[in-house]
Amino acid sequence: MERRGVKRIVFIGSGNVATHLALALDKVADVVQVYSQHLSSANELAVRLRACQAIDNPSQVTPDADIYIISASDDAVAKIIVDISVSNGLWLHTSGSVPMSVFEGKRSNYGVLYPLQTFSKAVAVDVSHVPFFVEGSVDAVTAEITDLAHLLSSKVSAADSRQRKMLHVAAVFACNFANHLWAVADEVLADAGYSFDVLVPLIEATLAKAVDISPLQGQTGPARRGDTDIITSHCAMLSQERAILYKMLSQSIINQYKAEKDE
Amino acid sequence: MERRGVKRIVFIGSGNVATHLALALDKVADVVQVYSQHLSSANELAVRLRACQAIDNPSQVTPDADIYIISASDDAVAKIIVDISVSNGLWLHTSGSVPMSVFEGKRSNYGVLYPLQTFSKAVAVDVSHVPFFVEGSVDAVTAEITDLAHLLSSKVSAADSRQRKMLHVAAVFACNFANHLWAVADEVLADAGYSFDVLVPLIEATLAKAVDISPLQGQTGPARRGDTDIITSHCAMLSQERAILYKMLSQSIINQYKAEKDE
């Protein structure tokens, strides 16, 4: 099954990220092994790949692969690096929060291949649209990881550990916190007898505008207009906790554009 | 040009909402006049319609139309109702924030036709996907407005003035406030040397998940996991004002799921 010039890849982990990356890489490389603590989980992924062995013992990890990709929970990465004794080849992890230095002194060639996307096993994701961020132990390794990432996606950028952390912070604001506000909106809608669906076209239009002219330029709403009457009347309809959230976010918007005006 | 059984409609206002609604209604009804204080603005819209007169004098409003739609700024609606002496026909406004009672004692048949979408003249919107919320002075009028709304969109619901206000509050959370968090994310990304684009696939996936399983169920991130180490390290990377926002939103998420756990 070995193809000339094609990279031999081992996946350490068989979760959501590993599944999506392995399925995508299997089209352009040879994914030869999937390791998991749980053989059934390793096997579930391995059977979906062209010619891949499922393993659950660290000593079974083949020493002659080109690339080893650790897709595990943040806490588990350091332990995996110690547990597996294979040290040749290129070693990567896929975590936004774990610094590259986790490999320091334990491997020669290493780096990070971080996909900025949320994956779940059940939902198909077109990996070619996912932005990847890469970091390598030395420039030649960064170049090698960049090449690997380009096999998966056209959107590949360099990111050192600090930049990856900033990406994560940005994602917390843009996704986790925005999602929380959608949950609050959903609660308000339910009170009024509606479902979250009624707001989706408006959210999509808001996002399209943010992409088009930037979220800063695209800001609208009572706080942006400085409409304190509406702000007060909205807060009067909310529970105390939601009213505090409404006021705080309104104040943050007011400050944002006040600062601009003062510049 | 008059077609049997087809409604004759007058638009009072020629802004973004009037433009999109008039263009859509012109396919299924006769938009016979567009009124604006500024004749050039009325004309700009009228020339895009099949057979429509542009007017700028309240006394020119024809008394023999079936429906009069006021699409003006919230502040202007009450004055327009007084300025225009025509009182027969069905009178509607399109504002989320203005109560239906603005017509009370001034017209016989009246109501509200509220599209929950953001419009700009330059961007084409498929009105058939826009949710419309209707309210009428009496049930027969509500039914008439519902029929009119169904000519435009398949998504038509009833909403009294309180429900419309709740829809507006929900939209402030889901769109205005979410957009502000996207602006903060954009600022963090710029600090790290990236553009807002890198986050868009993740935002889209987050929204898709919220639609699929509800935003409450779809919540992820450090606050949802109770990962205080990450929260602390993220805040250390932010300005004081942004760190306060980060902590406050994290606390709001923690409280949300704590309340659930305690139930």
For residue B107, give the CATH number of its domain. Answer: 3.40.50.720
Q: Please report the sign of the dihedral spanned by the C-alpha atoms of residue A230, residue A234, residue A237, residue A243.
A: negative
Residues A21 and A120 in one domain: yes
Single residue among A130, A158, A186 that ends a domain in this structure? A158
Residue A26 is encoded by which pair of tokens? 């299997």
The residue out of B159, B178, B198 marking a domain boundary is: B159
A124 and A175 housed in the same domain: no
**Same domain membership, residue A235 and residue A206:** yes
3-class SS of residue A68? strand
* pLDDT higher than threshold 80 for residue A153: yes
Q: Do B211 and A196 touch (CB under 8 A)?
A: yes
Position A3 in a domain: no
Q: Among the three residues B125, B159, B193, which one is the final residue of a domain in this structure? A: B159
Q: Does A181 lie in the same domain as A151?
A: no
Same domain for A168 and A126: no
A60 and A153 assigned to the same domain: yes
Is B2 among the domain residues? no
Structure tokens at B62: 């024809």
At residue B13's C-alpha, the angle toward residues B9 and B15, to 5°, is 120
Question: Pick from B172, B211, B230: which is nearest to A222 by CB?
Answer: B172
Domain assignment present for residue B252? The answer is yes
Please write the tens of the pLDDT for every residue from B220-238.
Answer: 999 998 999 999 999 999 9
Within-domain flag for B106: yes
Say how far apart CA A61 and CA A153 lie, in whole Å. 27
My answer on whether B96 and B30 are in the same domain is yes
* Same domain, residue pair A37 and A139: yes
Q: What is the pLDDT of residues B167-190, one digit of tens each?
A: 999 999 999 999 999 999 999 999
Say yes or no for a CB contact (<8 Å) between B214 and A196.
Answer: yes
* CATH of residue A238: 1.10.1040.20
Whole-number Å distance between alpha carbons of B137 and B14: 25
Decide if B3 is inside a domain: no
Residue A260 pLDDT level (bands cut at 50, 70, 90):
low
Domain that holds residue B127: 8-159
Confidence category of residue A118, pLDDT binned at 50, 70, 90 = confident
pLDDT in tens, A127-137: 999 999 999 99
d(CA B263, CA B245): 27
Mean confidence (pLDDT) of chain B: 94
Say yes or no: A179 and A73 in one domain.
no
**pTM to 2 decimal places:** 0.88
Chain centroid offset of residue B241 CA: 31
Q: Which of A47, A12, A37, A10 is closest to A25 using CA atoms?
A: A10
Q: Is residue A2 part of a domain?
A: no
| Rounded Cα–Cα distance for residues B261 and B120 (Å) | 43
Among A161, A141, A160, A157, smallest CA distance to A99 is for A161
Tokens of A20: 């999506």
- Residue B75 sits in the same domain as residue B184: no
Q: Closest to B179 (Cβ–Cβ): which among A194, A219, A222?
A: A219
Q: Is A123 in the same domain as A182?
A: no
For chain B, the domain total comes to 2
Tally of CB atoms within 10 A around B197: 12
Provide the pLDDT for residue A85.
95
Q: Residue B132 — φ and ψ, nearest 5°? A: -110, 140
Contacts of A210 in chain B (CB under 8 A): 179, 182-183, 196
**Has residue B1 been placed in a domain?**
no
By mean pLDDT, which of A106-110, A121-125, B61-65 is the weakest?
Answer: A121-125
Mutate to test the interface with B, among A128, A164, A180 (most CBs of B within 10 A): A180
Laid out side by side, the sheet with B8-12 consists of B53-55, B30-35, B8-12, B67-70, B90-93, B109-115, B132-136, B156-158
- Whether residue A151 is found in the same domain as residue A182: no
CB spacing of B202 vs A116 below 8 angstroms: yes
What does the DSSP assignment read for A219-245? --SHHHHT-HHHHHHHHTTS-HHHHHH
| Predicted local distance difference test score (pLDDT) of residue A121 | 76
- Examine residue A1 and state whether it is found in any structural domain, yes or no: no
Of A54, A56, A48, the C-alpha closest to A80 is A56
